[in-house]
Amino acid sequence: MATLAEMSERLFKRFKGVPNITLEDATDWTEDAMQEHGFTVVSNVPADKERLILLYAQAQGAHQIAISTAHYFTYTDGEEQVDKSMISENYRNLAEDLRNQYDRLRAEGAGGGSKFKAMRRLDR
């Protein structure tokens, strides 16, 4: 069982290399993820739901960073060049990857989902 503070700290450690991300940001993302999954901010999250909630919070965090970096630019001056235009794109791709991991984990943990696969016919 994990508390909001413990999960926020874990999330903050995952984003520690990102400039301007604070523990408050990580706490907000974790709160949103907990509420999305039916937990209150004072409740303890069962161990089997921690990874699911943290993946959701990570995806939300990456999406928020992508939004805040969308205004970045490319600048060229003679021999010097600064290109920050792809930062937002990279965070959007990261958010999408995290969301896909979240969806897979949720399907596995929430009843398994449908695992039916139809084989391709050999005569075609």
Give the pLDDT score at 111: 42
Average pLDDT, the chain: 86
Domain positions in the chain are 4-109
The dihedral region occupied by 66, where left means phi > 0, alpha psi between -120 and 50, and beta the remainder, is alpha
Percent of the chain with pLDDT over 90: 45
- Cα separations in angstroms, 122 against 33, 118, 119: 46, 12, 9
Q: What is the pLDDT of residues 63-92, one digit of tens each?
A: 999 888 887 777 788 888 878 878 888 899
- Extract the tokens encoding 35: 């509420």
pTM above 0.85, yes or no: no
Q: DSSP letters along 3-62, please?
A: -HHHHHHHHHHHTTTSTT--HHHHHHHHHHHHHHTT--TTSPBPHHHHHHHHHHHHHHHH
